[in-house]
Structure 1
Amino acid sequence: MNKFSLQQQVLKRLAEDLLQAEDAVRVAHETATHAENIAENKYDTLGLEAAYLATGQVRRAEAIRQAMAKWHQFRPRPYDASKGIQLGALVCLVDSDDKQQQLFLGPDGGSMQLGSGTQLVQVISMEAPLGMAMLGKCEGDDVSIQVAAIRQQFEVLRVH
């Protein structure tokens, strides 16, 4: 699996999300400012609700732009066993049922699932509970996280 290719897939998906968010901002703004949506009484709140929606969509678009900036600056490094798992690591975990999962540890804002050949790769940030639990671990180490009342256990199978 190529980390650069995964990074480009994340950037492409973020760009698509940004276009959708910008379209949503435009539609919500047009709805909020349309002449038919001027409040006729204190209970007529469609224009106000659309304005709140537009504000939320503007924030969402800005968050996507910030994530894109982080992902553009991101330079995944080769795995260094002396430091263990760090930002940019491509990790294969296996659970107690021998189910494997591929994880790509990247900057914030890129949480998504990507295809790499026939495999799925889950992109997570270091701020995610599993991302934090993996930091500094090496091949063969155990990783565990608490999800609600359930403790999930994994073994680090491979790191690239």
Structure 2
Amino acid sequence: MHKPALLQRILATLEHDVEVLRRAAQTAYETATAEENIAENKYDTLGLEASYLATGQARRTAEIRQALLTYQQLVLRDYDPARGIQVGCLVTLEDEDGQQRRLFIGPEGAGLKIGEGDALVTVITPRAPLGQQLMGKKVDDEVSLVVNGVAQVQYIIDVA
């Protein structure tokens, strides 16, 4: 998957997520403010719980909207070996067993997965431990993370 197509898929996914969360927050708000959900005693907490849910969903919607705005302003550049890996790079890593995975270094939206199978790309940010290690690295460099007490070494085999 090329970076412009990947960026469009990220934007579409974030737009969809914003809409789904907006509708969910609206439903929770309507439940929280419905007259039939006014508490009749101290144990009647449906309205209060719906209010908490609406607040959390509204916050998450705002976070995704911010990520969407950030991606809309993202300028994709070609990989420059002199600068190494930067935000906007599409990186392919390979572990010692030959397993490959593709990562997009994004400004936001960590954990977002785009595509499936061999075309799966995971979004990470420079704030993540792996993202921190990748910044400035080049093809043929290696990164190492300790997961559950085991060091995992991966090699950068391609950067776009």
Asked if Structure 1 and Structure 2 have the same fold, meaning a TM-score greater than 0.5 normalized by the shorter chain, the answer is: yes
Partner SS state of residue 140, structure 2: coil
Distance in 1 between the 2:54 and 2:117 partners? Answer: 38
**Aligned Cα root-mean-square deviation (Å):** 1.5
Distance in 2 between the 1:101 and 1:58 partners? Answer: 33
Corresponding position of 1:81: 81
Q: Cα distance, 1:148 vs. partner? A: 3.2
Q: Percent identity?
A: 48
Q: Does the alignment pair 1:120 with 2:120?
A: yes
**Do the aligned partners of residues 117 and 40 (structure 1) sit closer, same or farther apart at CA in structure 2, a change above 3 Å counting?**
closer
Q: Does the alignment pair 1:25 with 2:13?
A: no
What TM-score does the superposition give when structure 2 sets the normalisation length? 0.94
Corresponding position of 2:60: 60
**Do the aligned partners of residues 158 and 8 (structure 1) sit closer, same or farther apart at CA in structure 2, a change above 3 Å counting?**
same
Corresponding position of 2:49: 49
Corresponding position of 1:14: 14
Distance in 1 between the 2:121 and 2:59 partners? Answer: 28
Corresponding position of 2:156: 156
- Whether the 8 Å contact between 1:108 and 1:126 is mirrored in structure 2 is no
- Whether the 8 Å contact between 1:10 and 1:110 is mirrored in structure 2 is no
Distance in 2 between the 1:61 and 1:20 partners? Answer: 9
- CA distances 1:78-129 after superposition (whole Å, capped 9, x unpaired): 1111111111111111001110111111111253121289521112111121
**Do the aligned partners of residues 39 and 117 (structure 1) sit closer, same or farther apart at CA in structure 2, a change above 3 Å counting?**
closer
> In the TM superposition, what are the counterparts of 1:68-147 in structure 2 within 5 Å?
68-115=68-115, 119-147=119-147
Structure 1: gaps of 5 or more residues? none
What TM-score does the superposition give when structure 1 sets the normalisation length? 0.94
Partner SS state of residue 53, structure 1: helix
Q: Cα distance, 1:35 vs. partner? A: 1.3
Higher strand share: 1
- Whether the 8 Å contact between 2:67 and 2:108 is mirrored in structure 1 is yes
Structure 2: gaps of 5 or more residues? none
